[in-house]
Amino acid sequence: MYWPSREIVLIAVMLTAALGTGGLFVSDTDPAPPDPVPFDETVSVGLTLEAEQSLDENVTLPRTQVFYSQYQYVVGYYGVETFVDAKRQEGHDRRFGYPLAVYVTDYGDATVELQDDGYPVTDRPLPWVDATDAWFVVGSEARTPAGETVVPFADRADAAAFAAAHGGEVYTWEETLEQSFDTDDATVVRDRVDEQNRRADAVVASTVAQADRPVSTVVGEDVDTVQEGIDEAPANTTVLVPDGTYEETLRIDRPITLAGEGAATIRGDNNGSVVTVTEPRVGIRDLEITGVGPLTSGAEEVPGASIDEDAWDEKFLTYYTGADAAISAHVAAELSVENVTIETPSNGIILRESPDTVVRNATVRGNERWEDGFAGIMAFQSPGVVEETTIVDGRDSIYAYRSEGIVVRENTIEESLLGVHLMHTDGALLADNRLTDVVDTGIYVMTGPERNAIVGNEVRGAETGSYVGGTDTYVAENVFEANDVGLELAAAASIYERNVFAGNRLGVNDRVILPTNRIVENDFVGNDDHATAGAGPLRIWSHDGRGNYWQGGTSIADGDPPSRSYSPTDPVDRRMHRTDGAATLARAPALDALSGFEESVSGLRTGSITDVAPTCEPNNPELLERTAQTDRAGGCDGTLTIEP
């Protein structure tokens, strides 16, 4: 294939400019430190959008802003402890350079009170003070939504007075940098995946008793209608619905189990929800539910207990959770829905303030025109377990809002607009789901959440396999195949490891401005482009001598392990797996020299990715065998590493 001459000229110009400038980034005198900027002009970390929106307007959390030598943006940290923890992470100085200036908020001139939850409230805006001149109270009763926090003061006497009133010790800046703080990062998320699965197993087991409740009422024998059976059944018993179609809309306001026998169908009147649950510990099983109303959203009231009028999202919750659904549960903890089949033009299952709900082995078929339908399952403030369920068509297959710790595992999702969609939801586990031909995004994690785990999923045929936002996220052992974009990587301070990106137009698009992620042991095979990056400094995609496998990125000339780095964003490297002659050009001594120079100065290669320890063979052969790209995974010696 013809190699464009203008790119060779461009490379030559870059090489001349870079290697011929002996005094680059050298200054005879240290510049004056920059002045602090308004915090909303920084790239901020340490507080989720959900936490920020839920704070009282008078709360003034401690903040830090840092100017780095090799980073073009000012970084804003909610909490001194957030900066201290970040600075200790491996590779931090390499990515950002050294701090040119660090400023912290000064509580000294303000009247400070702590709310019951420990959040500091002040009577005025706080000025900035140079961290090296400040004093810090560590271990006090002060808190942020993330946990313990450090409170800074310009004057030692003010710091001592705060410590006397609220506990803690007073430290200098150097002493504060040596302190340890209890924070949950992405390694903690990784290490507790097994525990999350065990907790989910326990939640599922807790609903088994609902299936074993004795039958007290048989519809058609003891009562004429299903609603009569519900109204007359003693608590903790089962209302049995024999084979047949029952044209009713139901309300369950006592802890009973509604169970079908044979082909039992509850058919609503196409106006409103079919089954409304307003009591904890209800079971619904072995039923088909149809005749759901068309209202996808826009409700003005909700069934059961009302929503707190002071909640910051009260109108939002009412608007969506009051809509029509096959099953609509409100303040109904420990609901169990199992072996239920739903046909709906609007929503399948709505859960509001119903924690520890289990939806298991259900089937939800939504509107074929996603524009006219809404969600298969919506969980609002309802952490629980959704497993072994099939959802087809509709807009959002599974939507979770403020449902911290929800577990979504082993589900099959097809042909919806969005697959699994998280908003303001922290600590979720999305595991072993199979998503096929989703129109837009398979797994969509948005609104800046923390500590989510996305493990073992397979996403194929979507416009975007997954968009992952937030921080401290763990993304591992997933297969992204035949998507327009495999992964929109937008979560910072996260771990992305042992994933396979195969046959996508673009494997990964790195959107993170803060270069704080660990991206290792992934495999890139058969993508038109393996990876691209947006604005920001050079991203180093390797850790502790471990890198990723890039089809076409290494050859026998590089050794085993390869001695040469690989950059999927480099104009030459990016063509090595699909352009004849690119590999030879990439190994030219001049380009090797330029690559090494650029890697030594992270600010020089903005919008770039480099793997300094690429592997000769795929890291995840068993996952790669699930794809149609095994015949393209060659080792450094050019031979296939996996038999097709």
- Packing angle of the helix pair 5-19, 589-600 (nearest 10 deg): 60
CA 505 vs CA 481, 490, 550, 611: distances in Å: 9, 18, 15, 20
Q: DSSP string of 566-602?
A: B-TTSTTGGGTTTSTTHHHHHT-HHHHHHHHHHHH-G
Between vectors from CA 12 to CA 10 and to CA 18, what angle results, nearest 5°? 100
Report the pLDDT value the prediction gives residue 588, as an integer from 0 to 100: 57
Highest mean pLDDT among 81-95, 181-195, 344-358: 344-358
> Would you say residue 303 lies in a domain?
no
Sheet order of strands, 418-423 included? 250-252, 275-277, 325-330, 347-352, 375-380, 396-401, 418-423, 441-446, 464-471, 485-492, 506-510, 529-533
602: pLDDT strictly greater than 60: no
Report the pLDDT value the prediction gives residue 29, as an integer from 0 to 100: 45
Calculate mean pLDDT across residues 632-643.
Answer: 78
Q: Which two tokens stand for residue 517?
A: 């992620």
Beta strands, E only, 388-494: 390-392, 396-401, 407-409, 412-414, 418-423, 429-431, 434-436, 441-446, 453-455, 458-460, 464-471, 474-476, 479-481, 485-492
Which pLDDT band holds residue 15 (cuts at 50, 70, 90)? very low
Sheet order of strands, 43-45 included? 43-45, 75-78, 63-68, 99-105, 128-130
Pairing outcome for strands 523-525 and 549-550: parallel
Spatial distance between the Cα atoms of 329 and 337, rounded to a whole number of angstroms: 11
> Would you say residue 298 lies in a domain?
no
> Would you say residue 349 lies in a domain?
no
Length of the chain equals 644
CA 69 vs CA 66, 261, 481, 516: distances in Å: 10, 70, 39, 16
**Contact 42/73 with Cβ under 8 angstroms?**
yes
**Residue 416 bridge partners (DSSP):** none
**Each residue's pLDDT tens digit, 476-509:** 999 999 999 999 999 988 999 999 999 999 999 9
Q: What is the CA radius of gyration of the chain?
A: 28
DSSP reduced 3-state for 374: coil
Spatial distance between the Cα atoms of 342 and 465, rounded to a whole number of angstroms: 26
**Each residue's pLDDT tens digit, 107-164:** 998 999 999 999 999 999 999 999 999 999 999 999 998 889 999 999 999 999 999 9
> Would you say residue 173 lies in a domain?
yes
Q: Could you tell me which residues come within 8 angstroms of residue 69 by beta carbon, excluding any fewer than 6 positions away?
A: 96, 97, 98, 99, 100
Secondary structure tally for the chain: helices H, strands E: 14, 50
Spatial distance between the Cα atoms of 418 and 370, rounded to a whole number of angstroms: 9
Which among 37, 95, 106, 47 has a CA at the least distance from the CA of 68?
95
> Would you say residue 329 lies in a domain?
no
Side chain identity at 241, as an amino acid letter?
Answer: V
Beta strands, E only, 154-271: 169-171, 215-218, 238-241, 244-247, 250-252, 257-260, 264-267
Output 241 or 51, whichever has higher pLDDT. Answer: 241
Spatial distance between the Cα atoms of 199 and 619, rounded to a whole number of angstroms: 30
Domain final position from 183, 207, 237? 183
**Each residue's pLDDT tens digit, 272-327:** 999 999 999 999 999 999 999 999 999 999 998 888 888 889 999 999 999 999 99
DSSP reduced 3-state for 264: strand
Which stretch of DSSP H or E encloses residue 375?
Answer: strand 375-380
Average pLDDT of the chain to the nearest whole number: 89
226: pLDDT strictly greater than 90: yes
Side chain identity at 322, as an amino acid letter?
Answer: G
> Would you say residue 403 lies in a domain?
no
Which stretch of DSSP H or E encloses residue 376?
Answer: strand 375-380
Which among 461, 502, 494 has a CA at the least distance from the CA of 478?
502
**Each residue's pLDDT tens digit, 454-465:** 999 999 999 999
Q: Which two tokens stand for residue 566?
A: 């690989």
Q: Which two tokens stand for residue 583?
A: 């590999």
Domain final position from 183, 211, 231? 183
Report the pLDDT value the prediction gives residue 603, as an integer from 0 to 100: 47
Between vectors from CA 39 to CA 34 and to CA 54, what angle results, nearest 5°? 165
Q: Which domain holds residue 106?
A: 35-183
Side chain identity at 523, as an amino acid letter?
Answer: D
636: pLDDT strictly greater than 90: no
Q: What are phi and psi of 479, to 5 degrees?
A: -115, 120
Residues of the chain with pLDDT > 70, as a percent, come to 90
Domain final position from 155, 183, 211? 183
**Contact 159/137 with Cβ under 8 angstroms?**
yes
Environment class of 622 (CB within 10 Å of its CB; exposed 0-12, middle 13-18, buried 19+)? exposed
> Would you say residue 61 lies in a domain?
yes
Which stretch of DSSP H or E encloses residue 348?
Answer: strand 347-352
Which pLDDT band holds residue 19 (cuts at 50, 70, 90)? very low
Spatial distance between the Cα atoms of 422 and 109, rounded to a whole number of angstroms: 41
> Would you say residue 327 lies in a domain?
no
Residues of the chain with pLDDT > 90, as a percent, come to 71
What is the CB neighbour count within 10 angstroms for residue 349? 30
DSSP reduced 3-state for 44: strand
Spatial distance between the Cα atoms of 442 and 459, rounded to a whole number of angstroms: 6
Supply the DSSP symbol for 498: S
94: pLDDT strictly greater than 70: yes
**Each residue's pLDDT tens digit, 35-78:** 999 999 998 888 877 777 778 888 999 999 999 988 888 999 99
Please state the domain count of the chain: 2
**Residue 33 bridge partners (DSSP):** none
